[in-house]
Every structure is written in C-alpha cells, then in structure tokens.
C-alpha cells in the first residue's frame, strides 16, 4: 500500500541487510569475479550464457550504424567506385600470375619434401569474415567479427588481411567472434626477423604500434627489417608478414633494446579479413628422459 508520499509502508521489521553490508557483499562478489576472469579465465561459460541475453541488445545498437553505412555506400560517388574497381582488377591480374605458378611450385615443393623425408606443409584453409565494429572497451584493442562458432571459427585462430597478420580470435560466441588485434598490449606473437632468422616475441605497444620485446641491446636488428611469424607457437602459420622495424633505441643502461615496429597489415583499417583454420598441433615435447649420472652412462657405453 503506497502512502501519499509514494513510499511503501515504513519497514519496521523486514529491512534486509544494511546498505553498507549489501555494498560490501556485492563488492566482494565483484572482486571474486574479477580475479576469476583475469587470473584463471573461469568465466567464459558464464560469458557465453550472458551473451545470449546481450546479443539482441548489441544487434539493436548495431542496426542503425549498419544502415548509415549502407546508405553512405549507396551514395558513394561513381568515381570512387571506378577507381576501386580498376585497382582491384589490377591486383587480380597481378595475383593471377602468381597463383598460376603457385600450383606448380606447391607440387614441386611436395616432391622435394618427400625426397628430403620432411613432413608436408599443412594446406591453409580459411573463412572470410567481416569486422563489424570495435569493442567499446577503451582499455584494449579488439574487434567483433560477423561470424562465430556456427561458421567454424574457434578461439585461438589467427586472423589475417591481404597483407599480413592482424590478430587472433580470443573469444568465440555462437554468431560472433572477438579478435584481439596485434596492437593490444597483451597480444603476443612469436616472430622472426627475415634477414637473419632472429627469433623474438612481438607485443602491442599500446599506442597503435608494435614492439619487439626482450631482445638484447646489441641484438642484430636494423631499421627496415621485415618481421614475419615464426610459427613456433603452433597457432600462426610460419612466414606471415607481421611488421617492419621503424625505430630502435639502444640505451646501454637497459638490458633490452626498445624496438618499435609498424604493422604490415592495415590493422585498424580493413573490414574484410580471413580467419585461418586451426593448424595441426605441433609434435609433443619429448618426455624428459630420466636423469642418469655421467659415470653410469659411460659404463653402459663401454659394455
């Protein structure tokens, strides 16, 4: 029964816990959630479940944006389209020449690898997807793709555009997937410098650039070097272009050189991307042989 002032009847007996107690309880729940998500990644199932509720909200929010985009595409000038078309035709002819030779080269490579008794290289499969939008989270650099688990996209797959790597699928929902771009501070890619096959790890620098970390101050890296994936992680295929070195600060007071790179791919520009299929898992790390002391070994050898 509401009184005149709009309050309920004065709650004499049942008031529930005090506001401060409720605040503290909820804060503790939030902290537990934060730790469970950040440290242990336990909450992906919960996230999937909640995403069923939030998907309509996201689509409702994206609808007008898509409409505006379509309208602007519709009214884009004929001149721009003609230029783009000419560019694409030129590119296709360029690529066609290479593709014609590639079949032959692949066959040859297969035969040579068989001769050398090496494992055949894995054929690449991929799914073309479109970037819908950047996530609103200002602390990370991620984008949402318009395809998800139902189209065969899985967490951990590499994402490339026509020039190089742009990121990795970090979360997959039924109809969408979340890609962490290379420029995100926490995204790491094992790479190597093409000039001398020096291995390193590439991280986002946080400002849209990339950074080669943990290389000694006297490491053999020069401005202009191209950096490609090394494939040691078993996720990215080896040899995909990643970046070009643009600046090197060698300060002898630090252990490591600060090497800044510019991404090869248009990481924050392109709309159409290719999600590469899962690689075959790398061979298992050999079980550590039981340690025997050296004299015993030599004795065995003499026998």
Q: Enumerate binding residues for other proteins (CB under 8 A).
A: 2, 5-8, 19, 22-23, 26-27, 29-34, 36-38, 43, 46-47, 50-51, 53-54, 57-58, 60-62, 64-65, 132-140, 142, 144, 171, 178, 185-186, 206, 268
Q: What share of the chain is helix, strand, coil (3-state, %, to 5)?
A: 35, 25, 45
- Whichever of 2 and 291 has its CB closer to other proteins, that residue is 2
- Whichever of 138 and 218 has its CB closer to other proteins, that residue is 138
- Whichever of 60 and 100 has its CB closer to other proteins, that residue is 60
Q: Would you say 111 and 121 are in contact if contact means Cβ atoms under 8 Å apart?
A: no
262 phi and psi, to 5 degrees?
Answer: -105, 130
Query: What minimum distance in Å lies between the beta carbon of 267 and other proteins?
Result: 12
Query: What minimum distance in Å lies between the beta carbon of 50 and other proteins?
Result: 4
Distances (CA, A) of 301 to 70, 289, 294, 297, 298: 76, 17, 11, 6, 5
Query: What minimum distance in Å lies between the beta carbon of 26 and other proteins?
Result: 5
- Whichever of 221 and 275 has its CB closer to other proteins, that residue is 275
Cα–Cα–Cα angle for 149, 184, 140, rounded to 5 degrees: 80
d(CA 57, CA 149) in angstroms, rounded, equals 19
Distances (CA, A) of 168 to 108, 136, 184, 211: 31, 18, 11, 17
- Whichever of 32 and 114 has its CB closer to other proteins, that residue is 32
Q: Which residue has the tokens 């995403």?
A: 51
- Whichever of 134 and 278 has its CB closer to other proteins, that residue is 134
Query: What minimum distance in Å lies between the beta carbon of 256 and other proteins?
Result: 18
Collapsing DSSP states into helix, strand and coil, what is residue 200?
strand
Query: What minimum distance in Å lies between the beta carbon of 227 and other proteins?
Result: 22
Query: What minimum distance in Å lies between the beta carbon of 294 and other proteins?
Result: 44
d(CA 201, CA 159) in angstroms, rounded, equals 18
């Amino acid at each position: 029964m509401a009184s005149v002032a709009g309050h309920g009847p004065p709650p004499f007996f049942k008031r529930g816990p005090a506001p401060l107690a409720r605040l503290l309880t909820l804060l503790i729940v939030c902290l537990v959630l934060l730790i469970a998500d950040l440290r242990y990644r336990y909450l992906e199932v919960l996230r999937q479940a909640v995403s069923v509720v939030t998907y309509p909200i996201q689509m409702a929010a994206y609808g007008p944006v898509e409409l505006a985009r379509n309208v602007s595409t519709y009214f884009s000038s004929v001149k721009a389209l003609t230029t783009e078309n000419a560019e694409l035709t030129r590119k296709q002819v360029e690529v066609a020449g290479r593709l014609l030779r590639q079949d032959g080269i692949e066959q040859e490579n297969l035969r040579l690898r068989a001769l050398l008794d090496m494992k055949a290289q894995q054929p690449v499969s991929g799914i073309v997807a479109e970037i819908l939008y950047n996530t609103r989270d200002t602390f990370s650099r991620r984008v949402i793709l318009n395809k998800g688990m139902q189209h065969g996209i899985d967490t951990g797959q590499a994402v490339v555009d026509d020039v190089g790597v742009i990121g990795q699928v970090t979360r997959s929902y039924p109809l969408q997937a979340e890609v962490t771009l290379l420029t995100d501070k926490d995204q790491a890619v094992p790479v190597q410098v093409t000039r001398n096959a020096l291995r390193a790890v590439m991280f986002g620098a946080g400002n849209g650039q990339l950074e080669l970390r943990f290389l000694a101050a006297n490491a053999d890296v020069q401005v202009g070097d191209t950096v490609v994936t090394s494939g040691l992680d078993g996720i990215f295929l080896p040899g995909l272009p990643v970046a070009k070195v643009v600046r090197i600060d060698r300060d002898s007071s630090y252990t490591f050189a600060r090497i800044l790179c510019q991404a090869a791919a248009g990481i924050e520009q392109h709309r159409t991307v290719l999600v590469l299929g899962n690689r075959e898992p790398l061979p298992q790390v050999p079980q550590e042989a039981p340690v025997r002391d050296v004299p015993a070994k030599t004795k065995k050898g003499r026998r």
